[in-house]
Amino acid sequence: DAGVIQSPRHEVTEMGQEVTLRCKPISGHDYLFWYRQTMMRGLELLIYFNNNVPIDDSGMPEDRFSAKMPNASFSTLKIQPSEPRDSAVYFCASRGSTGGNEQYFGPGTRLTVT
C-alpha cells in the first residue's frame, strides 16, 4: 500500500491568503484524522471523520479552519484567511475499523504563513 498521501509537502503563503491541504487515506480505512504539530503544543487533533462524516471538530482552532471529506479517498483542510500563527506541520492519519486502533500518518505538510 502507498500509505497516507498528503500534498503539498511544503506551502509558503502570505497572511490573508487561502490555504488548502490535501490528504488521501490508506485504501480501506474508514477513519481519517487531521493533526497539527508545533514545538509549543506538540501534536494536536483538529478533526476526525468516520465514513466521510465529521465526528469531532472540537480541536479546530477557529472558524477560519474547515475540513471536508467528499469521498472515502480524499479530504481537504482549508484555512481562510491564513495567519502567521497557523504556521505548523499538518498531518493526516487514517485507520481501519478492524484490527488495532493504531493510526497511520502521512508525511505532513509544512505550512509557513508570512
Partner 1 sequence: EDQVTQSPEALRLQEGESSSLNCSYTVSGLRGLFWYRQDPGKGPEFLFTLYSAGEEKEKERLKATLTKKESFLHITAPKPEDSATYLCAVFVSGGYNKLIFGAGTRLAVHP
Residues 56-75 that bind partner 1 (CB under 8 A): 56
Nearest residue (CB) to partner 1, 13 versus 45 = 45
Sheet holding 65-71, edge to edge: 5-7, 19-24, 74-79, 65-71
96 binds partner 1 (CB under 8 A): no
Tell me the three cell numbers of residue 7: 500534498
Q: How far apart are CA 99 and CA 80, in angstroms?
A: 37
| Grid coordinates of 33 | 484524522
Q: Measured from the CB of residue 56, what is the shortest distance to partner 1 in angstroms? A: 6
Contact residues toward partner 1 (CB under 8 A) are 4, 31, 42-43, 45, 48, 50, 55-56, 91, 93, 100-108
